[in-house]
Amino acid sequence: MSKRAGLPASVQMRHDYHYVEELSRANRPVGKIIEISRIAPNPEQPRVEFGDLTELTDSIREKGVLEPLLVRPNRDGTYMIIAGERRWRASQLAGLTEVPCVELDLDEQGVAEIALIENLQRKDLTVWEEADGLAALSSKFGYTHEDIAKKISKSRSTVTELMTVAGLPQEIRDRCRELNISSKATLLEIARQFDEAAMFEYLDNYRENKKQKETVKKLASERGAGAVSRGRQNGSSSERQPRAEDSKTFRYRPTDSAFAIEIRFDSESDLTKRGVLHALKRAFDDVKDDVIDLP
C-alpha cells in the first residue's frame, strides 16, 4: 500500500458538487460491490451521532444505494469506511447484503481528512464534533490553522474559533451539555474567560439568567392568555400576544437614521447584552475585513 502525506493539495471541499468527483480524478479509485459483512466503521470517525436513519433506510430499500461508500482495504481482506457510515448503517437496516463502494488507497492522514471533509460538506456535525475533528487534524498531523482552512475551504478565523472551542476542559464541556449550550458564539465566550474558575462562574450566571428568562416568559404567557380571555369576554380580540421569535430577536432603529438592525439568535439565552455586543462586533469585523461582499 502506498503512503502519502494526506490528500493532494488540489483536493479541497467544494460547495457546488460532491468532492468524490474530484477524488475520482486525483486518485483513480476502484469501484466495486462489497459484502456489508466485510466492511467496518472507521474508529476515528469524527461523527458521534448519526441521527434518525428511517428516511434514508426507506430510500435505500426502494432505490438502493445511489452514492457509493468510500472504503480503504485492510490486509485481512476487510474494508474500513472512510466516508458513508450512515449509508452503511441504513443499508443494514434495509436488509442489503452488499453495497457499492469506491476503494481508495490512502494513508491514515488522508483517511482523517476525507472523513472530516465529508461530514463538514454535509453540514450535519455538531459544534463539538466539528471542533474536535479539526483539533485531531492539528494534533495528529501538525496542521496549522491555515493548513486546515485551505483543506476544508473555510476562513482561518472560523478554524481558529473552532479550535478554541475544542480546547475547553472536559468538566466545562459536561456543564455546557447539561445546560444545552450549542451556540458557537456562546461557547467562544466561555472559552475566552480568564481561567477555568471564570468559566464556571460564567456558566452559573448563564443558568440563572436562563431560569429568569423562562420565568419571565411564563409570566408573560400567562398574562397574555388572561388578556385574550378578558378580551373575548368583552367582545374584543384586539389584545396581541408576543410572537415566539421576539424573545430571540434584537431590533434597533434610531429615530434620526434611515436604517434598522435586526439580530436573530438561535437561542433565547443568547439574547443578552453580552450576546448583542458580541454579534455587533462580529458583524463589524467581518465588514471591515471584507469577509462580507458588499456592493
From 149, 86, 155, select the one nearest 115 (Cα to Cα). 86
Q: How many domains does the chain have?
A: 1
Confidence bin at 257 (pLDDT 50/70/90) = low
Could you tell me if residue 270 is inside a domain?
no
Scanning the chain, the segments in alpha helix (DSSP H) are 20-27, 54-63, 85-93, 108-122, 127-141, 145-152, 156-166, 170-178, 184-191, 196-233, 273-288
Could you tell me if residue 227 is inside a domain?
no
Helix (H) or strand (E) holding 110, with range, is helix 108-122
The CATH number given to whatever domain includes residue 70 is: 3.90.1530.30
- Report the 10 Å Cβ neighbour count for 77: 7
pTM over 0.85, yes/no: no
Could you tell me if residue 48 is inside a domain?
yes
Q: What angle do CA 95, 100, 103 make, to 5 degrees?
A: 135
**What angle separates helix 156-166 from helix 184-191, to the nearest 10 degrees?**
60
Tens-digit pLDDT profile for residues 190-201: 998 888 998 999
Could you tell me if residue 135 is inside a domain?
no
Confidence bin at 10 (pLDDT 50/70/90) = very low
Range of the domain at 26: 20-126
Could you tell me if residue 244 is inside a domain?
no
Could you tell me if residue 161 is inside a domain?
no
